[in-house]
Amino acid sequence: MRASPSFRALAVIGTLGGAASCSLVLGIGDPTLDPAGGTGGKGGSGATATASASQSSGAASTAAGTGGQGPVTYPCTPTDPTCNVVKSDCLAVYDNTGKSSFAIRVGQLDFYQPVAFTGSLEQAAFLASISMNLPKCNLKGSGTFSWIVNVDKTAGTFQVGAAKPPADPHNGYSYVNETITLSGKSFPIAPSSGPMTLDADGSIHPATIENILLPAYLDAQATNLILVPLHKVRVLETKISADQNCVGSYNASGLKKSNGCLPDVNQGIESFDIGGKIDGYIDLEEADSIIITSFGLNRSLCVLLSNSAGTYGDGGNPAKCKRDGMGKIKFNGDWCSATNLPADATCYTAVAFFAGFAGSGVELK
Q: What is the pLDDT of residues 344-354, one digit of tens each?
A: 999 999 999 99
Q: What is the pLDDT of residue 184?
A: 87
Phi, psi of 70, deg, nearest 5: 80, -170
Segments in the chain forming alpha helices (H): 7-16, 18-25, 46-53, 120-130, 284-287, 301-306, 309-312
pLDDT tens sequence across 126-150: 888 999 999 999 999 999 999 999 9
Q: What is the pLDDT of residue 182?
A: 86
Q: Residue 319: inside a domain, yes or no? A: no
Write the DSSP symbol of residue 44.
Answer: P
Judge whether 147 and 214 are in contact, CB under 8 Å.
yes
Judge whether 329 and 351 are in contact, CB under 8 Å.
no
Residue 254 has pLDDT above 80, yes or no: yes
Q: What is the pLDDT of residue 123?
A: 79
Q: Which domain holds residue 46?
A: 7-228+236-279+355-362
Residue 39 has pLDDT above 50, yes or no: no
Judge whether 111 and 117 are in contact, CB under 8 Å.
yes
pLDDT tens sequence across 174-205: 999 999 998 889 999 999 999 999 999 999 99
Q: What is the pLDDT of residue 183?
A: 84
**64 vs 292, residue with greater confidence:** 292
Residue 21 has pLDDT above 90, yes or no: no
Phi, psi of 147, deg, nearest 5: -110, 135
* Separation CA 302–CA 290 (nearest Å): 8
pLDDT over 90 for what percent of the chain? 70
Q: What is the pLDDT of residue 266?
A: 82
Q: Residue 130: inside a domain, yes or no? A: yes
- With CA atoms as reference, report the closest residue to 262 among 13, 2, 4: 13
Residue 23 has pLDDT above 60, yes or no: no
Q: Residue 270: inside a domain, yes or no? A: yes
Average pLDDT over residues 239-248: 98
Average pLDDT over residues 260-279: 93
* Separation CA 63–CA 73 (nearest Å): 8
Task: Work out the mean pLDDT of the chain and round it to a whole number.
Answer: 83
Q: What is the pLDDT of residue 69?
A: 53
Q: Residue 27: inside a domain, yes or no? A: yes
pLDDT tens sequence across 290-341: 998 876 788 999 999 999 999 999 999 999 999 999 999 999 999 999 999 9
Q: What is the pLDDT of residue 46?
A: 43
Q: Residue 175: inside a domain, yes or no? A: yes
Q: Which amino acid is at 157?
A: T
**CB 16: neighbour CB atoms within 10 A?**
10
**60 vs 28, residue with greater confidence:** 60
Q: Residue 58: inside a domain, yes or no? A: yes
* Separation CA 263–CA 255 (nearest Å): 7
Q: What pTM does this model have?
A: 0.82
Residue 42 has pLDDT above 80, yes or no: no
Q: Residue 121: inside a domain, yes or no? A: yes
**CB 152: neighbour CB atoms within 10 A?**
16
**CB 244: neighbour CB atoms within 10 A?**
24
Query: How many structural domains is the chain composed of?
Result: 1
Q: Residue 334: inside a domain, yes or no? A: no
The model's confidence at residue 61, banded by pLDDT at 50, 70 and 90, is very low
The model's confidence at residue 3, banded by pLDDT at 50, 70 and 90, is very low
